[in-house]
Structure 1
Amino acid sequence: MDLQFIGIDPDTDRDHCPTVWVDQEKQELLLQGWKPDSTTHGACEASSPANGPVPEGEAIVRIPARMVPMIREACDAIERAQLR
């Protein structure tokens, strides 16, 4: 697995730390974030065009907006890998 660490929430306390990685081989972003409360989870499911609840093996996670630059960097890393 060609996993590349991109960044960690700059405001982290190192115990609760949203993080971004890129899997170069699979061309995927990996995001660690906070689980939403049940009300938010339900609202996400209700507003999704998908059929039914979030499937087993998938998750809704919260990522702070301050991490947008890291997510952009991860997207750029995937695009660069695709050009190779």
Structure 2
Amino acid sequence: MALEFFGKDPNTDGDECPTVWVDRKNADLVFQGWKTDEETERECLESGHIPETEAVIRYSRQDGSAAQEGMRCRSRTRRASRR
């Protein structure tokens, strides 16, 4: 896997915090985020099953700049792979 690091939440200790990467091979975004509480997960389950291979994470508004940059890179990676 060729992950490109984009950033971490600047409001945390810099070690254990939400993070975004982009897989340069297929432009997938990879997120590390805060685990949700049981109430949030219950609400998510109201719209459908969460498979064992998936997780619900919370990625805060403050973390958005790294996610936005990851989305821009994802778009560039997809355009480049179509050439």
Equivalent position of 1:83 in the other structure: 79
How far apart, in 2, do the equivalents of 1:80 and 1:7 lie? 18
TM-score, normalized by length of structure 1? Answer: 0.86
Equivalent position of 1:63 in the other structure: 59
CA shift, 1:67, in A, is 1.4
How far apart, in 1, do the equivalents of 2:39 and 2:2 lie? 36
CA shift, 1:75, in A, is 0.7
SS class of match (1:11): coil
CA shift, 1:26, in A, is 2.3
Equivalent position of 1:16 in the other structure: 16
Percent of aligned pairs with the same residue? 40
Equivalent position of 2:2 in the other structure: 2
Bigger Cα displacement from structure 2, 28-37 vs 12-21: 12-21
Unaligned runs of 5+ in 2: none
How far apart, in 1, do the equivalents of 2:16 and 2:37 lie? 16
Aligned length: 80
CA shift, 1:44, in A, is 1.1
CA shift, 1:15, in A, is 4.4
Unaligned runs of 5+ in 1: none
Which consecutive aligned stretches of 4+ in structure 1 deviate over 2 angstroms post-superposition? none
How big is the alpha-carbon RMSD for the aligned residues of Structure 1 and Structure 2? 1.2
TM-score, normalized by length of structure 2? Answer: 0.87
